[in-house]
Amino acid sequence: NPIVKKSLTDHFQPKTAWENWIFLTHDCNLDCSYCFENKNKSKRKWDVNELIDFFSWQSERRDREYFQENSKIIFYGGEPLLEQRLMEEIIRKTNNPSFDFGLQTNGTLLNKVDDYILNKLSLISVSIDGSKETHDKNRFFKTGEGSYDIIINNTSQIRRRYNGRILARMTIPITPGYDFFKEMKSIIDTGLFTDYYWQLETPICREITEKDLQVFLKNYKSSIKNVASFWVDNLKRGNIINIIPFETSVQKIIFEELVKDLRDSDLYTIK
């Protein structure tokens, strides 16, 4: 819409980097118990050249005086590696140093990623929910076979070819017996991932009573405290575990304290 485009061009002055999510497909080779992507199919289909034009516009509008970080282009699905050639086309045509590329994958096709795409990725996010037993209850192939062993094997292989960040992205099922700390610890103990992140199962795709929900919440809060204590104990020993929510919070605190110190010092002047 030319009116909308003009409005954006004239008035939208971004101070932070963009994060673009590209859903390459809604198809997937897994049949996870809490998946809802296939229920949210977009009617809008973008042409690749439209996307490239949009990214060029972003690059031109970004104000580097205020924000130095690159914008992000992250490939999602379904399973985006089912459309690896389309992913490669977008990366090749974007060809812009203002962007970093990322991939959100279920990990079952990681062994098939070609070197060109792999060398362009700054982050690979792999869906894994904890131990083999816990993971395979919810993330399985359409045959019913669990996906844990294949994901672990593929991630191990990719570590030998890729030096970037590999993030373990957990989905926490809303069940009363789930021990979040135990499950995250089992992922950390594999030694395959550089970063860790989690999200609650949303929307809740299973029936749960109010009593069971309260039990889950109580266990979840307790587990968060255990994870935080584990993270701090490792920090004291000089071992930094990149648990994203904790890391981000600490960075924000440190940054705000630094700004306060600068403002209180003689080095800070308003021009």
Mean per-residue pLDDT for 139-153? Answer: 96
Question: What are the backbone angles phi and psi of residue 71, rounded to the nearest 5°?
Answer: -75, 165
Quote the pLDDT of residue 251: 73
The pLDDT mean for the chain works out to 86
Higher pLDDT, 135 or 70: 135
Element (H, E) at 138: helix 132-138
**Model pLDDT for residues 91-125, shown as the tens digit of each residue:** 999 988 889 999 999 999 999 999 999 999 999 99
Closest alpha carbon to 173 in 37, 40, 78, 32: 32
Q: Could you tell me the pLDDT band of residue 270, with boundaries at 50, 70 and 90? A: very low
11 has pLDDT over 50: no
Asked if 106 contacts 82 with a C-beta cutoff of 8 angstroms, the reply is: no
Closest alpha carbon to 93 in 161, 60, 47: 47
Q: Could you tell me the pLDDT band of residue 42, with boundaries at 50, 70 and 90? A: low
271 has pLDDT over 50: no
Amino acid at 202: T
- State the pTM of this model: 0.84
Mean per-residue pLDDT for 236-243? Answer: 92
Quote the pLDDT of residue 126: 98
**Model pLDDT for residues 164-187, shown as the tens digit of each residue:** 999 999 999 888 888 999 999 999
Q: How far is CA 4 from the centre of its chain?
A: 30
Other Cβ atoms closer than 10 A to 48: 12
Strands 165-172 and 242-243: unpaired
Query: In the chain, count of helices (H) and strands (E)?
Result: 9, 7
**Model pLDDT for residues 14-38, shown as the tens digit of each residue:** 556 788 999 999 899 999 888 776 5
Amino acid at 14: P
Asked if 148 contacts 128 with a C-beta cutoff of 8 angstroms, the reply is: yes
Quote the pLDDT of residue 202: 78
Q: What is the largest CA-CA distance in the chain?
A: 67
Asked if 28 contacts 35 with a C-beta cutoff of 8 angstroms, the reply is: yes
Higher pLDDT, 56 or 270: 56
**Model pLDDT for residues 49-71, shown as the tens digit of each residue:** 999 999 998 888 776 555 567 88
Closest alpha carbon to 49 in 18, 16, 89, 104: 89
> What's the rounded Cα separation, in Å, for the pair 102 and 21?
9
Question: Length of the chain in residues, anyone?
Answer: 271
